[in-house]
Amino acid sequence: MDPVDVVIVGSGASGAAAAWSLSRDSYLKIVCLEQGGVSDASKYPAHYPNWELSRNGEASSKPSERNNPADYPIDDRNSPISIANFNGFGGSTILYSGHFPRFHPSDFKVRSLDGVGDDWPFDYEDVELFFNENEQMMGIAGLVGDPAYPEYKKLLPPVPMGPMGEKIGAAFNALGWHWWPSYSAINTRSHGDRGPCINLGPCNTGCAQGAKGSVDVTYWPVALRQGVEVRTNCAAYKIAMDNENNAKGVHYFDEKGVRQFQEASVVILACSGIGTPRLLLNSKSSAFPDGLLNEHGNVGRNLMVHPLGYTEAVFDEDLKSSIGPHGCCILSQQFYETKADREFQRGYTMQVLRGAPPMETAVSGYMMRRIPLGPDHHKSFSKYFNKSIGIAVIAEDLPDPENRVELDPENCDAHGSPGAKVTYTLGDNTKKILSHGTSKSKEVLEQAGGQVTSSFAPVRDTGWHLMGTARMGHDPKTSVVNAFGQGHGVRNLFVVDSSIFVTSGAVNPVATAQALTLKICDNLRNNLSELMRST
């Protein structure tokens, strides 16, 4: 295998942004290794009436339900929240909802402002340029003028909120609380060569229309045109080192299961908050008996997952609530920032979710004894379908070294590489945030005239946001990479995904993760020739 300049491991949200950014200098030879295959949009579940069934099958966000050989086992029994992801070309963005708010200025200064967590090694202003650049590439809808944020420059028109959005928006107004149309990685009109959203609904099983900004339709088409080579069904299992503490390249299994080695001047990891520590920990050698970048035992520590609280209410009138992009409608950041009169530090976003589709309405209604079997079934069903509104509370999760990802040699992937084991406990602050958030969710839903039908936290199957497991910082004793995503002590090894988050904020992570990727790659491009000379 010929040596290349850069090898990127992982083709998801961050790997794609890195591939695009670095390939703008077309002289570079860049290879991306991706352990999964390419999803075929012409076969996405939305093409079939029974699309809902795929949510517990091939389009499930639980690796244990998918039966996909690209997945590695994740043992999350020691966590109240189970891990969700997608391993394939485009990574978890294939299934994500595309809810795309940025971090706030205060999110980068948590320790100095509130005495908890840690400060990031830079400020919001240092990332702003890259937020803008990323949003342009991903195609973000929303509305400028939001008082919860510094001014956004440019957005596509907001996703329609529909009758349900108007209903709940009026209730937020009555309480004097903030709300705003969601920032959504969803084309509301044609953007790039992608068509507009047609309100199919099942964004979480893949967008057949190509309107949702998953990276297979945003960054990747351009990166491929710019010459990046992607090798799918290729699972990296070890980063090789030379005698001078430089990464030499990546060992991987190719699509036939044959061991290969890709030599590279620069190695970039973008395998997600679970996959990245797994690969670092598995890169053991006599020089690195505990894995790479792990001299101080920080790799895999400080896992943050945004524990989620959920409250749902049912209304008398038809709100068409099952129509439209499920995760993107409106949000409220009334309780985002720390306030002295609350029992907790930091806060949360309230993400208003559309109502459940038919099968989910029937199944959950039956399980919760709301929708009976027999002659009253249909009348009861019609009381819920298209008439419910949900609110997800996305709680800021503070870093705790005990919350961690480790290797699980007992459970291996298809090639015999160890899986991952997750240990996670809810912190007291998080519990208080969730309790406050679910109670405020009830308040606003009742204000809107709804009858609350369920409210609980944390919701188990919501470990979508995986952060902090290779955190950045100035001090090698307490962090894994520096402010440029560069491994402490291994200057040509970079981590660019949300593993490097210092704190979690209380918003979905991709807008910030990709902006960071672009920031790191921008710096890398400026220093690449020097880096390549010295390795």
Ligand X SMILES: Cc1cc2nc3c(=O)[nH]c(=O)nc-3n(C[C@H](O)[C@H](O)[C@H](O)COP(=O)(O)OP(=O)(O)OC[C@H]3O[C@@H](n4cnc5c(N)ncnc54)[C@H](O)[C@@H]3O)c2cc1C
Residues making contact with ligand X (CB under 6 A):
9-15, 33-36, 61, 70, 84-88, 91-93, 95-99, 204, 235-236, 270-272, 275, 279, 327, 464-465, 497-498, 508-510, 513
Least distance between other proteins and beta carbon 201 (Å): 6
Q: How far apart are CA 389 and CA 169, in angstroms?
A: 12
Q: Enumerate residues 6+ apart whose C-beta is below 8 A from 225.
A: none
Residue 257, by phi and psi: left (phi above 0), alpha (psi -120 to 50) or beta?
left
Q: How far apart are CA 124 and CA 104, in angstroms?
A: 7
With CB under 6 A as the contact rule, the residue among 81, 186, 293, 493 that binds ligand SF4 is 186
Q: How far apart are CA 420 and CA 280, in angstroms?
A: 12
Residue numbers 112-141 binding ligand SF4 by CB under 6 A: none
Beta strands 259-269; 229-231: pairing state: unpaired
With CB under 6 A as the contact rule, the residue among 207, 247, 490, 507 that binds ligand SF4 is 207
Q: Which whole-number Å values give the CA distances from 23 to 105, 227, 391, 505, in the listed order?
A: 30, 7, 40, 30
Least distance between ligand X and beta carbon 2 (Å): 19
With CB under 6 A as the contact rule, the residue among 7, 9, 203, 356 that binds ligand SF4 is 203
Which of these segments, 193-201, 242-250, 273-281, 432-440, binds ligand SF4 (CB under 6 A)?
A: 193-201
Pick the closer one to other proteins by CB: 23 or 321.
321
Residue 323 contact among other proteins, ligand SF4, ligand X, none, beta carbon within 5 to 8 Å by kind: other proteins
Least distance between ligand SF4 and beta carbon 328 (Å): 8
Least distance between ligand X and beta carbon 416 (Å): 13
Residue 97 contact among ligand X, ligand SF4, other proteins, none, beta carbon within 5 to 8 Å by kind: ligand X
Q: What are the strands, taking DSSP E only, across 342-427?
A: 348-353, 388-395, 404-412, 418-423
Q: Enumerate residues 6+ apart whose C-beta is below 8 A from 232.
A: 11, 34, 36, 37, 38, 88, 89, 255
Residue 441 contact among other proteins, ligand SF4, ligand X, none, beta carbon within 5 to 8 Å by kind: none
Q: Is the CB of residue 321 less than 8 Å from the CB of residue 389?
A: yes
Residue 494 contact among ligand X, ligand SF4, other proteins, none, beta carbon within 5 to 8 Å by kind: none
Pick the closer one to other proteins by CB: 247 or 331.
331
Least distance between ligand X and beta carbon 16 (Å): 8
Q: What are the strands, taking DSSP E only, across 4-134?
A: 4-9, 30-33, 74-78
Least distance between other proteins and beta carbon 149 (Å): 6
Least distance between other proteins and beta carbon 252 (Å): 35
Residue 106 contact among ligand X, ligand SF4, other proteins, none, beta carbon within 5 to 8 Å by kind: other proteins
Least distance between other proteins and beta carbon 164 (Å): 10
Pick the closer one to ligand X by CB: 92 or 371.
92
With CB under 6 A as the contact rule, the residue among 325, 399, 427, 437 that binds ligand SF4 is 325
Pick the closer one to ligand SF4 by CB: 359 or 414.
359
Tokens (6 digits) for 503: 């704190």
Tell me the one-letter amino acid at 513: A
Closest CA to 388 of 306, 454, 447: 454
**Is 320 one of the binding residues for ligand SF4 (CB under 6 A)?**
no
Cis peptide before 202 (omega within 30 of 0): no
Least distance between ligand SF4 and beta carbon 497 (Å): 23
Helix-helix angle 124-138:510-534, to 10 degrees: 100
Q: Which whole-number Å values give the CA distances from 245 to 225, 241, 516, 530, in the listed order?
A: 34, 6, 25, 16
DSSP conformation letters of 478-491 = T-SB-TTSEETTEE
Pick the closer one to other proteins by CB: 333 or 499.
333
Pick the closer one to ligand X by CB: 427 or 463.
463
**Is 201 one of the binding residues for ligand SF4 (CB under 6 A)?**
yes
Least distance between ligand SF4 and beta carbon 170 (Å): 24
What's the residue count for the chain?
A: 535
Pick the closer one to ligand X by CB: 9 or 356.
9
Give first-to-last CA distance, the chain, whole Å. Answer: 18
DSSP character for 40? -
Which of these segments, 82-90, 201-209, 299-307, 426-434, binds ligand SF4 (CB under 6 A)?
A: 201-209
Residue 325 contact among ligand SF4, ligand X, other proteins, none, beta carbon within 5 to 8 Å by kind: ligand SF4
Residue 104 contact among ligand SF4, other proteins, ligand X, none, beta carbon within 5 to 8 Å by kind: other proteins
Q: Is the CB of residue 195 less than 8 Å from the CB of residue 230?
A: no
Residue 62 contact among other proteins, ligand SF4, ligand X, none, beta carbon within 5 to 8 Å by kind: none
Which of these segments, 148-156, 202-210, 463-471, 502-510, binds ligand SF4 (CB under 6 A)?
A: 202-210
Q: Is the CB of residue 474 less than 8 Å from the CB of residue 485?
A: no
**Is 211 one of the binding residues for ligand SF4 (CB under 6 A)?**
yes
DSSP character for 109? B
Q: For the chain, percent helix, then strand, then coil, each to nearest 5? A: 30, 20, 50
Return the exposure string of 259-281: e unless at least 16 CB atoms fall within 10 Å of the residue's CB, then b.
ebebebbbbbbbbbbbbbbbbbb
Least distance between ligand SF4 and beta carbon 186 (Å): 5
Least distance between other proteins and beta carbon 4 (Å): 38
**CA 146 to chain CA centroid, nearest Å:** 23
Dihedral (CA of 496, 501, 505, 509) sign: positive
**Is 212 one of the binding residues for ligand SF4 (CB under 6 A)?**
yes
Closest CA to 510 of 229, 214, 191, 111: 214
Least distance between ligand SF4 and beta carbon 200 (Å): 3
Residues forming the site for ligand SF4 (CB under 6 A): 186, 197-203, 207, 209, 211-212, 325
